[in-house]
Amino acid sequence: MPHSTIVAILLGCFVFGFGGGNLSKAAESNLLEIYPPNMHLAGPGHRHGILVLGKYPGKPTVSLVSKATFLVEPPALGTVSKTGEFEAKTTGKGIVRIGIEGKESIVPLEIGNTPLGDKVSFTNDILPILTKTGCNSGSCHGALAGKGSLKLSLRGYNPEADHHVLTGQLGGRRIDKENPRNSLLLRKPLGDIPHSGGKKWDREAPFAHLVLRWITQDAQPAKESDISIKSLAFYPPALTGSPNASEPIGLLIQATYSDGITADVTSRAKFSSASEDVCGIDNDGLVRVVGTGESAISAWYNNLVATARVISPRPMLATKPAPGKVSNWIDLEIQTKLDALGIPVSGECTDAVFLRRSTLDLCGVLPTLKDIEAFQALDPANRRSIWIDTLLARSEYADYWTHKYCDQFLVTTKKITQSAVWAFARTLRREVANNRPWDQTCRDILTATGSNLDQGGVNFFLMHRDPGELNEAISVTFMGTSIACAKCHNHPLEKWTQDQYWSMANLFGRVTFKNGVRDDEVILIDAPAGDVNHIRRGIPMAPRPLDGPIVGENRREDFARWLTSPENSWFAKAQVNRLWKGLMGRGLVENDDDLRATNPASHPELLNRLAKEFVLSGHNNKAILRLIAQSSAYQRSSTPIGGNETDDRFYSHHFLKRLPAEVLLDAYSQVTAVPTKFEAITPGGGNGSQPYGGYPVGTRAIQLPDSAVVSTFLDSFGRPERNQACSCERGLETTIGQALHVANGTTLNDKLKNKEGIITHLSSDKSPPELAMEKLWLGALSRRPSPSELANSLPILKASWGGTPDQRREAVEDLFWAVLTSREFLFNH
């Protein structure tokens, strides 16, 4: 992305009615924005749009082009139409002077000597037309098998092949150089002859003329000497809209080429909106806002992507909603966005909710009765802060986060042996328990050599023996981005090309294995030579990480250094985004392994700053978790207040999280004091299970290093299979099957019946029913029963207290069932 140059001048003279008269003028001034910052057209005949936009706080961005005056100097260079379109007339240098209500701004102008229609380029002109009009899309000729007899590369990723197909195949009928108008490339889409895809082009459309010109100019292929596209800019980079705005908002997409020429490619770019419920964008780049909130809009042109943000605030209220409490800088960032959108903020959560939430989020366990006492004994002024530190120091913290990394690194006996699973999981746990700097942990894994039983990280390579699979796992796991699409063709939503994919794959082309002397031992050795071939070109690409430099002889080490260097923002961003999601319930980028330009963060500045803090802290995971947990945004109530019920990404209230499978199962064991037994595994990804005695009674589900441990409960509640590097593997949905299993299945009901459990004590006639309620409520919900709960439940218990021991027990079992199937229990709120 080019640096965004905003030509903005303060305009004090505009008089636009503001909703409430009490807004601070100094902080929220009106702005005039003019785009592009400069124009360097190829030559006479070329056109370029100019945007003149007025921005008013909390109001829709409007085009002021009809109120502006345009003065080209010298005038011979060209003219500007009423709609702000500049048309070049002659070669030269000058400026466009734009005046609006007494203020003036200047756009530098240069016009080259290549008139419109001269030197039409296959890659720069023709392929983008085929892409824009859908000819080479996945549903048409870009399909794997093509359509009809014509097969083009998907969105033009293979210009050489496309040129050959268009000019060389079918006896040259597709391109008729003798009689260009007779070319199938024109007659089919123009609808002159039957075309299964129908009529796609209008005869008068400029691009139809361009295609004709290209054929007239001998239908030249791409040449090495051709200029190439260097950058793509999206103007304006941010705009405000409203569902009530009468006119859609126009945009400008400007491409800059290797020779410095700029072109207005708005009509040739493809557009998409990340949140269609906020705004849509049509094929011509007109934005229509349909809801409130924020959306990213993207333009894709010639394998480059540029994005802009559309913000649509809630209707201005007479009084501005009161801002939330500010505990650290995170809250300032969150509040800025909430203010821009006019979303009110829920209050602070209670101590009981904080205790339960933080203990679940940081340690994956429910607070015990002892925890509750310990917390309450702390000084109310800073008990939350102290509690966060207490949690970060606990061994359950290491168990819980190790489990998350075992998910991320796909630790499972489906792929590696039992001893290898233990070796990898123990390595990870040691790193987490020591809070070792995350960059060091990752470098160790990526450069691991030797025995997989000594060096846990070797198993990462053992699991992904296919270079493509390894490549994809590494990009998802360490950079939070998926490059899988680029394996076969240029990434349709991203800037990654197929060449970049295979350059990166070749980084790991020298990883080889041999069997060790011990059982299940495999030794990783870096071979002195060897390469991974590009799947299409059949030759190796120079080994280099995505957009990094070509590496030296120590490929993996150079890569690991590039990956974890402070200049590489992918690494830190991916990690802090995951930490953030773990606590806040939603990533700043969602999904948390889908970082890409076309899927920007909800709070980009916040993400950048968190990543920076992470690097400054020495890649200290605990420091970042502490920072987030201490923010008021984290400690907010999950109860919505009027106006923020539908917010699902701006953190105006805390988001609910269903307890993950393992945490929920452990919570059942803890509250009932009946441990869960894990006695079998299904290794090798098969369906047959075999006994395994490595997990003594009392092992918690979160402590299992292996996803192949047999458990219907964990499967039903979405335990990830650890087949594929993707956070999407963990199911956090709720299903009927889960509800049925919890309510009627054996997992919970057997624990309730178990005579060894806590129910035996609580249903003793020596223990009053009030105590049973209190202990259950505190143990499961971290709070005492409310007066209405006491009033409605206690009589039922008391009635049974007069009966037989069995009747007492059954009543307490039923009470436990009621609490442990309730949503308050199943959710972290």
Partner 1 sequence: MLRIDTKRNATFCDGMKRRDFLHAGSISALGLTISPQLARPAAPQDGDHNCIFLFLVGGPSHIDTFDPKPNAPEEIRGPFKTISTKVPGMQITEIFPRTAKLTDHFSIVRSVYHTAAAVHDTGHQMMQTGKLFASGIEHPHVGSMVSYLKGSRNELPAHVLMPRPIGRTGGNLPHGQTAGFLGKSHDPFVLNADPAAKDFQIPDLLPPGYLPPLRTDRRRKLRDVVEEQFKELDKTAQAKQLDEQFQNAYKLISSPKTRESFDLDKEPSSIRERYGRTRFGQSCLLARRLIERGVRFVTVNMFETVFDEVTWDIHGSRPFTDISEMSRLVVPSFDQGYSALLEDLGQRGLLSTTLVTAMGEFGRTPKINPAGGRDHHPGVWSILMGGSRVQGGRVVGQSDELGYAPLNRPVSPGEVASTILHSLGIAPHQDVPGPQNRPVPLVDYHAPAIRELF
Q: Which residues of the chain form contacts with partner 1 (CB under 8 A)?
A: 138-139, 143-145, 147, 469, 472, 482, 484-485, 493, 591, 593-594, 638-640, 645-646, 648, 653, 655-656, 658, 684-688, 718, 723-724, 726, 728, 731, 733-741, 743-746, 749, 786, 788-789, 792-793, 796, 810-811, 814-815, 817-819, 821-824, 826-827, 829
Distances (CA, A) of 129 to 87, 152, 640: 21, 13, 48
Distances (CA, A) of 731 to 35, 412, 669, 728, 735: 45, 17, 21, 7, 10
Cis preceding-peptide flag for 36 (omega within 30 of 0): yes
Distances (CA, A) of 417 to 297, 302, 719: 46, 46, 20
Contact call for residues 705 and 406 (beta carbons, < 8 A) = yes
DSSP letters, 433-500, are HTT--HHHHHHHHHT--EETTT-TTHHHHHH--SHHHHHHHHHHHHHS---GGGGTS--SSSS--HHH
Q: How far apart are CA 39 and CA 60, in angstroms?
A: 27
Contact call for residues 494 and 596 (beta carbons, < 8 A) = yes
User: Residue 73, Cβ neighbours under 10 Å: how many?
Assistant: 12
At CB < 8 A and 24+ separation, what contacts does 567-572 make? 569/608, 569/611, 570/478, 570/479, 570/480, 570/481, 570/595, 571/439, 571/442, 571/478, 571/479, 572/611, 572/612, 572/614, 572/615, 572/619
Span between the terminal Cα atoms of the chain, in Å: 39
- Phi, psi (5° rounding) for residue 528? -70, -20
Q: Record the tokens describing residue 514, joined without a space.
A: 């041999």
DSSP one-letter code for 150: B
Q: Record the tokens describing residue 257, joined without a space.
A: 């080429």
Give me the residue label for tokens 């199938």: 184
C-beta of 18 vs 827, nearer to partner 1: 827
Strand spans (E) along 274-375: 279-281, 287-289, 293-301, 304-312
Closest C-alpha to 452, from 367, 549, 525: 525
Cis preceding-peptide flag for 591 (omega within 30 of 0): yes
- CA-CA-CA-CA dihedral for 789, 791, 796, 797, to nearest 10: 80
Q: How far apart are CA 826 and CA 829, in angstroms?
A: 9
Strand spans (E) along 112-261: 229-235, 238-240, 252-257
C-beta of 378 vs 739, nearer to partner 1: 739
Rounded to the nearest whole angstrom, what is the least distance from the CB of residue 602 to partner 1 in the complex? 15
C-beta of 448 vs 725, nearer to partner 1: 725
DSSP one-letter code for 636: B
C-beta of 219 vs 484, nearer to partner 1: 484
Q: Is 553 exposed, middle or buried (0-12, 13-18, 19+ CB in 10 A)?
A: exposed
